[in-house]
C-alpha cells in the first residue's frame, strides 16, 4: 500500500482551521481502494481509516455502470488522487465525512454557512 502524508497540504489550504489533535492525515492507496487515514493525539496507536469510494465524479456519474464514476481511483497515481482530494472536496464534504479534520471553531463556522447550521 502506498501512503502520502497530506496534513501540511490541508493545513496550507485551511490555515488555523485544522483540529489541533490531528497528528497525521494521509491518503493510502492499494490496487483496489483509496482511503483517508487519520491519527489523533489522544490515541496515537489507532489509525482511523475511511474509504473514499463514495465520492463520485459528477462528470462521470451519467456513464455508470460501464464506467466507474468514483472520484478517487486506485488505478491512478497516488499523487493524482491527492490532488483530487485537495482540489475537488470542499469544507462541507470534509466536515460531513471526516469530522476529525477541523477544529471546533472551524466546524461551527462551516455549519453557520450551510443549511446544516439552521
Q: Could you give the 3-state DSSP secondary structure of residue 23?
A: strand
pTM of the model: 0.83
Q: How far apart, in whole angstroms, are the C-alpha atoms of residue 54 and residue 97?
A: 10
- Taking residues 81-98, report their average pLDDT: 91
- Taking residues 2-16, report their average pLDDT: 94
Q: What is the CA radius of gyration of the chain?
A: 15
Q: Cβ(5)–Cβ(67) under 8 Å? A: no
Write down the domain spans for the chain: 2-117
- Taking residues 70-96, report their average pLDDT: 90
* pLDDT exceeds cutoff 50 at 64: no
Range from 53-67, 72-86, 103-117 that averages highest in pLDDT? 72-86
Q: Could you give the 3-state DSSP secondary structure of residue 3?
A: strand
Q: What stretches of 30-93 adopt beta strand conformation (E)?
A: 34-40, 48-51
pLDDT of residue 55: 79
Average pLDDT, the chain: 85
Amino acid at each position: 500500500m502506498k501512503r502520502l502524508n497530506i496534513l501540511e497540504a490541508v493545513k496550507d489550504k485551511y490555515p488555523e482551521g485544522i483540529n489541533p489533535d490531528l497528528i497525521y492525515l494521509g491518503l493510502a492507496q492499494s490496487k483496489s481502494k483509496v482511503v483517508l487515514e487519520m491519527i489523533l493525539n489522544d490515541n496515537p496507536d489507532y489509525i482511523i481509516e475511511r474509504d473514499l469510494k463514495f465520492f463520485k465524479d459528477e462528470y462521470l456519474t451519467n456513464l455508470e455502470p460501464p464506467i466507474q464514476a468514483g472520484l478517487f481511483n486506485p488505478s491512478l497515481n497516488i499523487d493524482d488522487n491527492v490532488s483530487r482530494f485537495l482540489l475537488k472536496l470542499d469544507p462541507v464534504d470534509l466536515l460531513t465525512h471526516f469530522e476529525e479534520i477541523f477544529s471546533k471553531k472551524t466546524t461551527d463556522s462551516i455549519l453557520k454557512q450551510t443549511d446544516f447550521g439552521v
